[in-house]
Amino acid sequence: MGRAGRPRGRQPTGQTSVNILAPSGCRCGQDASGSLWCPLMTTPYQQHPYGVSDKSKVVAGILQILLGGFGIGRFYMGDTKTGVIQLVVTLVTCGFGAIWGLIDGILILVNGGVDGQGRPLRD
């Protein structure tokens, strides 16, 4: 069938050809190699209104795992408030609060995070 839904030429028995058009205004389609592409299906980092942070989630996660009791990973990310709270909790609990930093570092590595300005950390 053509673009308007009318049959195109003769097709072998039982086979029809259909062109599926994207709704008007959508720029999805196929490139020259035949693979589908669509600018609407991009990662959230590319569509974030403020862009992506210049801080790395791997560096932040490793710092937080190794020195999380002192809030170093959070200071690196620009989140000084949480970094100071982690430092105070670690000092008040005689070091047991460092478990928070360890868990926080693992979560940063797995889920990512945001820097002090709210931008997602780069991979």
**47 — phi, psi (to 5°)?**
-100, 0
More confident residue, 123 or 30: 123
pLDDT band at 31 (very low <50, low <70, confident <90, very high): low
What does the alpha-carbon distance between residue 7 and residue 10 come to, in Å, rounded to a whole number?
8
Residue 22 has pLDDT above 50, yes or no: no
Alpha helices by DSSP H, listed for the chain, are: 44-47, 57-67, 72-77, 80-92, 98-111
| Proportion of the chain above pLDDT 70, given as a percent | 61
Residue 13 has pLDDT above 70, yes or no: no
Q: What is the pTM of this model?
A: 0.60
For all residues of the chain together, what is the average pLDDT? 78
Amino acid at site 49 = P
Among 107, 46, 35, CA closest to 77: 107
